[in-house]
Amino acid sequence: MLQINANARRNDYDDSLRQILNIHAADESRAWLSAWDGLNAGPTPLWDLPDLASRLGVGSIRVKDEGHRSPLGSFKALGAPIALMRLIKRLFQGHDLDAAKLIDRHYTTLLRNLTVISATDGNHGRALAAAARSIGCRCVIVLHKHVNDERRLAIAALGAEIVQIEGNYDESVKEAARLAKKNAWHVVSDTSYDGYETIPRDVMQGYGTIAAEAIEQNDGRPYTHVFIQGGVGGLAAGVISYFAERDGEQRPRFIIVEPDQAECLYQSALRGHAAHATGSVDSVMAGLACGETSPLAWRFLSVLADAFMTVSDKTAIEAMRILAAGSTRDIPVVAGESGAAGLAGLIQATGDAKERVALALDEHSHVLLLNTEGATAPALYRQLTSLRAEDVLHAQLQWQGAQATTVILGSAASNAAVLSAAGG
């Protein structure tokens, strides 16, 4: 399903939005995170997929691969640590804490009685647990019954205490809030609710790094479309706001992609306000299986997102397989269930004549996709793709080696031709 947002604006970035999310704070967050050994050095890859672009009838497809962001395997490593750092700096503002020292356990004595808590579908909780371990405070994570055991064990391995409940993600959010109030803990959540917006804002601000890198890594050819995962809306708001402030009227079209059965943002677009999903909220795209829109994120998406669409689990799994397979000119990419959602949306849109026209997708379109996660649940990845993630990563390295060899051979042949023409 596709819903065009009639309220989308393409004018200059609104000051009321800039006060919440802005490039200055995003770049500051990026600088702070550069000191954290929980992230891999440098930007994540921006892969060019020319064969897939030709197949889908667009000018180019580039994939920002957040599976390489950190050993945690997802983009969430940019949000939770920044939110935790900013929370601690507010709580202990009289101590003038240094960000680089904070993320390197320099203040553990000061923070020994601090406990943070959050609900998660997996990736946010894992990132928060890793950040809490690096900083030196206690971390409690609330999981609902649908969270994959691999993800639960990965969070526990980082030292977090696990509380598991019945129900879904939205119920785990409520349980985290209840436990925090009861024990005087601090919720570090990536979704906002009534009276709770500061920390979700900080989480979203961390995601601006993705947009900044994608812009820097591009070859000067502006993106015309960005297909971006939905969830509660935080990732989309963090990335879209960066583009909107930087590019104003020249910004790309933003298309939000969600699972069919967890379509809270799509429903919000239909109703004109932050709304709930009408489906079961039980999707293979676990990171996007959210039933309630973040009101804070909706302030941005309601005026900056150009369209909202839903995709089936089947389409997402097929997108995982397409990315893993690669081709002669397309590098193999490990994309988890939620990571492949953007491509699933693009495949669906380009395969429907009316949707192509509605989204102005044609041979001149330059599309940016975000692979938000690698194989964060390796056994599930193998079950869905019939491939081992490590084998796809090995194929990725082989593809890169073959491309480097081709460049070297091409350069040698060119030099030989020059020498021959010169009589050498």
Q: Which two tokens stand for residue 2?
A: 């596709």
**Any idea how long the chain is?**
424
Is 126:158 a contact under the CB 8 Å cutoff? yes
Q: State the DSSP H helix or E strand holding residue 101, giving kind and residue range, or none if neither.
A: helix 99-102
d(CA 415, CA 356): 44
Which residue, among 300, 337, 310, 340, has the nearest Cα to 322 in the 3D structure?
340
Catalytically annotated residue among 76, 170, 190, 260: 76
Helix (H, G, I), strand (E, B) or coil at 152: helix
Whether 149 is catalytic is: no
Is 253:346 a contact under the CB 8 Å cutoff? no
Which residue, among 204, 208, 211, has the nearest Cα to 62 in the 3D structure?
211
Which residue, among 141, 200, 144, has the nearest Cα to 171 in the 3D structure?
144
C-alpha distances in Å from residue 35, one per residue of 78, 97, 120, 155, 317: 12, 14, 25, 22, 36
d(CA 124, CA 343): 22
Q: State the DSSP H helix or E strand holding residue 316, giving kind and residue range, or none if neither.
A: helix 313-325
∠135-65-359 over CA atoms, to 5°? 125
Q: What are phi and psi of 407, to 5 degrees?
A: -65, -45
Which residue, among 318, 322, 316, has the nearest Cα to 286 in the 3D structure?
316
∠246-248-252 over CA atoms, to 5°? 90
Strands 138-144, 161-165: pairing is parallel
Catalytically annotated residue among 96, 98, 104, 121: 121
Whether 314 is catalytic is: no
Point out the residues that are catalytic: 76, 121
